[in-house]
Every structure is written in structure tokens, then in C-alpha cells.
Structure 1
Amino acid sequence: MRVLPGLLLLLPLASPFVQAELIDDVNDRGELRIALEGDMRPFGFTESGRLTGFEVELGEQLARELDVQASFVPTDAADLLQGVESGKYDVALNHMAMTAELRKRYDFSEPYGYASAQWLAHKEAPPTQIPFAMQENSLAVTQDASGAPTVTLAIPFQKGNPAFQASLDKALQRLKADGRLAALSQKWFGMDATQPPQQ
């Protein structure tokens, strides 16, 4: 059977498995779409009509490192991860615990913080108001020297985007290396929560 050379060139375009990398989409748009709930101090909240907080400033700095604009999309917990999975958002930056369960469905950046479960949940908050990161059945928990459980915070995004993961991790590494991430943590939490607890 004779196959025309031009037809061979078109075959890869017809394949349902050909998919653009997330980093290409982000660069083409010139923006990083960041989903967050936006109602949890000091992570992300609205003050004087604008979003602010630790994760908002972190998202702005990450976007700058990727040479794009940060586009924040406040949403609710039900839409947050589904939106990332469907491609509606590029990432969720919402004090997400990197759990074994979530790692089956999403890829994650390297950690950007470590938080005590007791520290994340306000003492007077009923269980329904505990931050989204703490509502999973299987947390990535370590035990620090004081005995308080600690969760690993990282940024989830769609699986199968290794170039995006490498770019995001390199951006985080630069923020860690020059002290900007630790300075953000000190500003919003009064402590450096960017390092794992000492064993």
C-alpha cells in the first residue's frame, strides 16, 4: 500500500493523544490562573477590595518568576480541585496538603511550607470551617519534636505536565534560595514555616 508523504505529516496532528504542555498554555496566555478560596487569613483574603495574604503574594512572585501575570480566581472548595483537573485553573494555591490520595489525581510542586494541624485550624472553628487542606482523609503528616502533627503544603496541577512542574519547582527554588519565601512566611505568620520541622 502506498502512503502519500504529506499524509504522514498530518497523522500526528490527528492523534487524540497529542496535547499541549501546561507551560506552553501559560506562556501563550501570558498568565498563570490561580484558584483559591480567598477567605482564610493569613493565607488569602480580601481586604479593602483586593486579595492579599501569604499565598496571594506567593502566587504573584511565582508568576513573576515564570515571566507571566498572576490571575487569581476566587472559588469554593468544591470547584477548586475539579477546576484544576478540568483545566479551568492552572494551579490551586490554597494551603493544600500533599496527601497520598490527592497525588493519585494530581501532580504537585515541591513543598512551599509546613504547617501544624493545630496551627492551621482555629481553636474555636467547628469542623466544617477547618481549612480545605485539613479535610482530607489521608494527610502527608510528619511528627515534629513537640509532638504536633505537621502537614506538607504544595501546589497541585494537572498530571502529565513535566515541563510545567520543572518550571514551577525552579521558580520555588529561586524564591527559597534568595530568602524571599522565608521573608513572606515571617511577614504573614511571624515565623519561618518554609522548612520541614526538626526531628
Structure 2
Amino acid sequence: MGKWKTLIFLLMAAMLVLAACGNDKTEANDDGYRLVEKGKLTYAASGLYKPFNFEENGELTGFDMEIGAEIAKRMDLEPNPVTNPFETILQGLVANKYDAIIGSMAYTKKRAEQAAFTQPYYYSGGMIWVAEDNNEIKSPEDLKGKKIGVIAQSTYEEPAKELSDNLQYYSSDVVALKDLTVENRLDAVITSDIVGFEAKDNGFAIKEVGSPLWVEQPSVAVKKDNEKLRDAIDKALQEMIDDGTYEEISQKWFGRNLLDIDLENAELLE
């Protein structure tokens, strides 16, 4: 009787293990990478970073969203974009809330400790922005003690801390840039040159200060132990670049190719 009890126990344990495996949303598929939802590429962005990712008429749109949709298509997957606050977006990836971040997250060595990154899918520069009528701030040195608007956990936060001890945190770069035009609210904002110029073109009374402080490399991020997924995304991205699809998407949103930049003398953010 003891042997039968042991056998039944082992069978039940095996069934529980199989059931657990069947419910594992990140179980490896035939291509060797894991997805949180079978047949879909679930990718995250803040949804607050116009023109890269933002909501319009209740739907996510923007450059990042189109890049993500095209990558998913080439992987024979359904695109499934979701939003997550940028300050916790990396933690959400580690916690398996989504497969990838396609939300203008720049590669850094620190972030690479938690995630695996593809090649860059565009380049941008970190730039200081002030109100159009601000003639006091003309260089980074002029920001000492000034109130700087910045996104928490962004690549702009640490440089801002080095320039001033008076930071105002935002969840949206666009809102921060808008606050530059409100008297006595902010002295400066540090954000992407592309986002700043887009806001300026849309009527924001702001101007840039000097040249970009550095060049950063926004890339697709996946979980560190899911490098086969990273490689598949990289392959799809390279195909887009090679056949001109990337160029079409970039021209649509910006009137230029965001990968077409001279990096010879550029200071790359790492």
C-alpha cells in the first residue's frame, strides 16, 4: 500500500508541474524566445512622449508604435502595445508585464544590467530648453540653482542633478515644456532635441540652449534572459532598415531619417 501511495503522490506532483508549465506565460515558443501572451508581441511605452508614443482618439500612436507594429508583423506576431509610467517601465519588463520596451528608452550600461538591448532604432540628443523670452540662460553653467523640469528615471535626470539641486519632476516631457511658458513655474527643461523641436513647431514659445549635450541611443529592451527575443527583434529591425521601411516611417513622422547622423565626433551617452 505504501508503494501505491508513493506512486500516486509522484503522479499528482507531475501533474502539478505540468499544469504550472502550461500556465507559464513566458514559456519558450518554437523560435526559442518567450512571450507573455502567445501569438502577440506586447511592448510598452509611457504614452506621454509625443511624437514618439502618445494617445490620440483613445489609441496609442506615434513613431515608436509604428516601429513596434512593423517589428511584430515581421515576426508573424500581433502587435500589442501597452502603457506603463516611464519611471517604472524597466521594473515592469523585469516583472514580465510585457515582452519589450519600445518606448524611446536609451541604452545605458546601468540599464543593460537589467535588460538586453537591440541596436539603436534612432538617435537623439539631450538638450536644454528655456522659454522663448528667457535671455538669462545661455549655457549649462547658467543653470546653477535654477529650477529644471525633468522626467524621473530618464537619462536626463542625473545630468540635471549635476547642474542644479532644484529639480521639478514630471511624467510627461510635453507637459514640462509647456510649463516653461508659464511665468515663474520653471527655468529650464532637459529633454530630447527631437521632442523639443516638435513642441516648438506646434506653437510652444520655447527655444533651445546651445547644442545637444550628448547623443543617446534609444533601443528596444527585453528581459536579460530572453536574448533570443532580442535577436529576433534585431533581425526584424535590420530588415526594415535594409528595405526602406524604416526610412518611410521616419520620414512620415519627422521628415528625415533618425538614424542618419554623423557620430564621428559625437559624445555617446552610456
TM-score by length of 2: 0.57
Shift of 1:155: 0.9
For 1:64 and 1:122, locate their aligned partners in 2 and report how far apart those are by CA, in whole Å.
37
Deviation larger for 57-66 or 188-197: 188-197
- Which of residues 50, 53, 56 is equivalent to 1:47? 56
Give the distance between the partners of 1:136 and 1:112, measured in 2 at CA.
Answer: 23
Q: Does 1:192 align with 2:218?
A: no
Q: 1:123 to 1:191 in 2, by over 3 A?
A: farther
Backbone CA RMSD of aligned residues: 3.0
The change in CA–CA distance for 1:48 and 1:131 in structure 2 (over 3 A counts) is farther
Which structure has the highest strand share of the two?
2
In structure 2, C-alpha distance between the alignment counterparts of 1:73 and 1:94, rounded to whole Å? 10
1:41-80 matches, cutoff 5 A: 41-80=50-89
Task: Say which SS state the counterpart of residue 33 (structure 1) adopts.
Answer: strand
For residue 136 of structure 1, report the CA deviation from its aligned partner. 5.8
- Post-superposition Cα deviations, 1:120-174, rounded to whole Å, max 9, x if no partner, equal x76559523489353366xxxxxxxx96321111011101223212211100010
Asked whether the 8 Å contact 2:36–2:97 carries over to 1, the reply is no
1:3-152 superposed matches below 5 A: 20-21=27-28, 24-26=33-35, 29-118=38-127, 123=130, 126-129=148-151, 132-135=154-157, 148=212, 149-152=214-217
Q: 1:80 to 1:147 in 2, by over 3 A?
A: same
Matched to 1:36, the amino acid is A
Q: Give TM-score scaled by structure 1 length.
A: 0.76
Query: Which residue is 2:238 aligned to?
Result: 173
In 1: Cα distance, 2:33 partner to 2:217 partner: 28
**Structure 2: 5+ residue stretches without partners:** 1-9, 19-25, 132-146, 160-209, 265-270
Please name the residue that 1:160 is paired with. Answer: 225
Q: Secondary structure at the match of 2:231?
A: helix
In the alignment, the residues of structure 2 paired with residue 59 and residue 116 of structure 1 have an alpha-carbon distance, to the nearest angstrom, of 22
Deviation of the 1:184 alpha carbon: 1.2
Please identify the structure whose Cα radius of gyration is greater: 2
Runs of 4+ in structure 1 over 6 Å off: none
Q: Is the 8 A contact 1:106 1:156 kept in 2?
A: yes
Runs (5+) with no aligned partner, structure 1:
1-6, 138-145
Q: How has the CA–CA distance of structure 1 residues 109 and 86 changed in structure 2, closer, same or farther, with 3 Å as cutoff?
A: same
Report how many aligned residue pairs link the two structures: 175
1:61 to partner: Cα distance: 0.4
Secondary structure at the residue paired with 1:99?
Answer: coil
